[in-house]
């Protein structure tokens, strides 16, 4: 999982997992979200941007904040773009992050933060929506945070850089200028007793003929005991409902494909290794072509469950799937 994976979904590759998925015809009504939280407001500070490598503020001292800002980019009216930008280790060495905070201007669909071993500052670039790497944070909300419980933080190794992937879909009649920032809130020294990671599970088996509704279902077993802090879904515009359970008990539900408010657990929700994880996406194809898995929110679909958890089994393997 620490190496980048260009997802070969046509061959049913799921990010390091062996879970099986299935599809069946179904029609279901919408349901409200499970445990929820509201979006965050802006905090921290954003510096003046560099032309090629974005911008940053803050310092590397524990207890402080560090912000990285992607170089602004434009999205034409009716356009859909993926932009990525690499950054060197923002802390000058090892750091423990107690909170991730992100802000995206209107038109955003998602933001993914990848670890990039040995990565340095680089210009913003076009990129694929199917690339993936170890990730400590992701969101679909324009303004969002993940805050770990006291004593928990995400570890950033001294040689680890960052890669930000931003997906924008402009449904307006005007060109948009996109601005994307992420702020890292650092732990004070000696306060962290457990490191956090990400549970990321995908079902790529999507094939919905025109005029049909199908439910894409995924079932697997959790790999080890973990405490869930946050759970969310990822679908595209054909998704009308997402439902998930662990050991038969509701985990997270939403009918919002664009800006699903994640489920937050306070206290964290403990689950056991071997517990059955189930999630499903209801997909409605009102178009004229077959709907398959892919990066476009307009023309393709995805069915993904993502969650933040602790403790990680190893600091070298922070992003896990299920078996």
User: pLDDT tens per residue, the chain (323 residues)?
Assistant: 333 333 333 323 333 333 333 333 333 333 333 333 333 333 333 222 222 233 333 334 556 899 999 999 999 999 999 999 999 999 988 999 999 999 999 988 889 899 888 879 999 999 988 887 888 888 889 999 999 999 999 999 999 999 999 999 898 999 999 999 999 999 998 999 999 999 989 999 999 999 999 999 999 999 999 999 999 998 989 999 999 999 999 999 999 988 888 999 999 999 999 999 999 999 999 999 999 998 787 888 889 999 999 999 988 778 899 88
The residues spanned by each domain of the chain are: 5-38+196-320, 55-193
CATH number, domain 5-38+196-320? 2.60.120.230
In this prediction the pTM is 0.78
How far apart (Å, rounded) are the C-alpha atoms in residues 154 and 152?
7
How far apart (Å, rounded) are the C-alpha atoms in residues 225 and 275?
9
CA 120 to chain CA mean position, Å? 22
8 A C-beta contact, residue 265 and residue 135: no
Count of other CB atoms within 10 angstroms of residue 246: 19
DSSP string, 218-272: EEEE-SS-EEEEEEEEE--TTEEEEEEEETTEEEEEES-SSSPPPEEEEEEEEE-
| 3-state secondary structure at position 10 | helix
Tokens of residue 19, six digits: 């879970």
CATH number, domain 55-193? 2.60.120.310
Give the Å distances, CA to CA, from 136 to 9, 115, 154.
22, 8, 7
Q: Hey, do 5-38+196-320 and 55-193 end up sharing a CATH topology, with the first three levels equal?
A: yes
């Amino acid at each position: 999982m620490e190496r980048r994976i260009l997802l070969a979904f046509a061959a049913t590759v799921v990010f390091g997992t062996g879970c099986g998925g299935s599809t069946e015809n179904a029609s279901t009504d919408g349901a409200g979200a499970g445990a929820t939280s509201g979006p965050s407001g802006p905090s921290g500070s954003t510096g003046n941007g560099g032309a090629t490598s974005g911008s940053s503020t803050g310092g590397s001292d524990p207890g402080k904040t560090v912000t990285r800002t992607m170089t602004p980019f434009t999205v034409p009216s009716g356009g859909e773009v993926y932009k990525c930008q690499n950054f060197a280790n923002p802390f000058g060495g090892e750091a423990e992050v107690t909170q991730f905070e992100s802000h995206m201007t209107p038109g955003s669909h998602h933001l993914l933060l990848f670890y990039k071993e040995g990565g340095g500052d680089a210009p913003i670039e076009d990129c694929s929506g199917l690339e993936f790497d170890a990730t400590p944070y992701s969101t679909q909300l324009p303004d969002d945070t993940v805050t770990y419980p006291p004593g928990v933080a995400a570890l950033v190794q001294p040689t680890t850089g960052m890669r930000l992937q931003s997906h924008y879909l402009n449904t307006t009649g005007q060109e948009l200028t996109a601005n994307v920032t992420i702020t890292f809130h650092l732990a004070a020294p000696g306060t962290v007793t457990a490191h956090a990671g990400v549970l990321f599970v995908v079902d790529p088996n999507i094939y919905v003929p025109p005029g049909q509704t199908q439910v894409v279902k995924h079932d697997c077993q959790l790999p080890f005991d973990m405490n869930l802090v946050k759970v969310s879904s990822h679908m595209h515009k054909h998704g009308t409902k997402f439902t998930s359970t662990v050991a038969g008990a509701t985990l997270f539900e939403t009918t919002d494909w664009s800006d699903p408010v994640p489920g937050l657990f306070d206290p964290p929700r403990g689950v056991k290794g071997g517990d059955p994880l189930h999630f499903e996406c209801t997909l409605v194809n009102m178009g004229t072509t077959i709907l398959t898995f892919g990066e476009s929110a307009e023309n393709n679909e995805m069915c993904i469950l993502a969650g933040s958890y602790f403790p990680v089994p190893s600091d070298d393997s922070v992003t896990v799937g299920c078996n």
